[in-house]
Amino acid sequence: MSDGFADLPSLNALRVFEVVARHLNFRVAAEELGVTQAAVAQQIRGLEASLDLRLFERLPRGLALTDAGHSYSGSIRSALAMIDEATRLLRPQAAHLTVSVTPSFASKWLIPRLGSFAQRYPDIDLRVLATDRLSHFSTDGVDIAVRYGKPDFGAGLNSELLMEQRIVAVASPRLFEGGEMPASFEQLQDFIMLHDAHNFWPQFLADLFPQHAQPTARNLRFNQTSLAIDAAISGQGIALASLAFVGADIAAGRLIQVFTQQLRLDKSFYLVWPRKMKQSESLGVVQNWLKQQAADS
């Protein structure tokens, strides 16, 4: 029976040889390997002794490969690359998954929860694409999206309700220091109304004060819900936002709900993903995690 690879030089010596052959410099090779220059020289001398031939010419300035060394270095580099590839294939590869959300959904709901996801599922490389543009699953490489609206979202797409949209009025408690929160339409006119692109204020006021007059309050308008929320936190005025986006700020005392009124809309947040014959395991994990987070919020 064969002794297999009994005559092979040590793998460590071959690794050192590959690095020295690349740099043709003991000092630079030692820095890459994290060892002393003397240790590198000793490994090369030992390798040459075991092979009974010279791999390098020692020159006044640096090194040069002998013909044997040049041929051997190419083969050894290929062999080490094969070992590296075989080792990497043994290790579980992180699954890449891209989720598309709006910037406000990302900053006010998803991002605060991502730390717990990374701890629980370290093998899933979750990528967040935050954009107001409607992402395309194939061209943008999106695996799953959170979309605001109501089905149907398009041919070839699955959708599932993530959470209903409940709009509340919020403001910083500092806004009412030394005074009371507004309880009537007239009192509300003393405060600045913070708007986002959805412009829920007319519908909210119609539900809250059915007989209200024309609003005279000052207005600030933002193109992102998250900016209106941040303005409310900093005491700029009263904002309307999804309860899911401001729940943590209310719990932390950064915001208070100004009216008990909640505006319920016929549009909601849905999970949307391409309809395929075979769904990846990581996609199912992310779907379930998102639904669990929505149920807990």
Residues 65-86 have pLDDT tens digits of 999 999 999 999 999 999 888 8
Question: In whole angstroms, how large is the CA radius of gyration of the chain?
Answer: 32
Q: What is the pLDDT of residues 245-266, one digit of tens each?
A: 999 999 999 999 999 999 998 8
Nearest-angstrom CA–CA distance, 108 and 229: 9
Q: Which token pair is 293?
A: 């987070």
CATH code for the part of the protein at 97-163+267-296 = 3.40.190.10
- The answer to whether 63 and 20 have CB atoms below 8 angstroms apart is yes
> Above 80 in pLDDT, residue 91?
no
> Above 80 in pLDDT, residue 131?
yes
Domain 166-264 falls in which CATH fold? D-Maltodextrin-Binding Protein; domain 2 (3.40.190)
- The answer to whether 110 and 237 have CB atoms below 8 angstroms apart is no
Q: Where residue 214 falls among pLDDT bands split at 50, 70, 90?
A: confident
Nearest-angstrom CA–CA distance, 114 and 119: 9
Kindly give the residue spans of alpha helices, DSSP state H, lying in 91-224. 103-105, 111-120, 185-188, 201-208
Average per-residue pLDDT in the chain? Answer: 89
Q: What is the DSSP letter of 64?
A: E
Is 167 buried (19+), middle (13-18) or exposed (0-12) by CB count in 10 A?
buried
Domain 11-90 falls in which CATH fold? Arc Repressor Mutant, subunit A (1.10.10)
Q: Where in the chain is the domain with CATH 1.10.10.10?
A: 11-90
CA angle (278, 282, 283) in 5-degree steps: 60
- The answer to whether 224 and 104 have CB atoms below 8 angstroms apart is yes
Q: Where in the chain is the domain with CATH 3.40.190.10?
A: 97-163+267-296, 166-264
> Above 50 in pLDDT, residue 1?
no
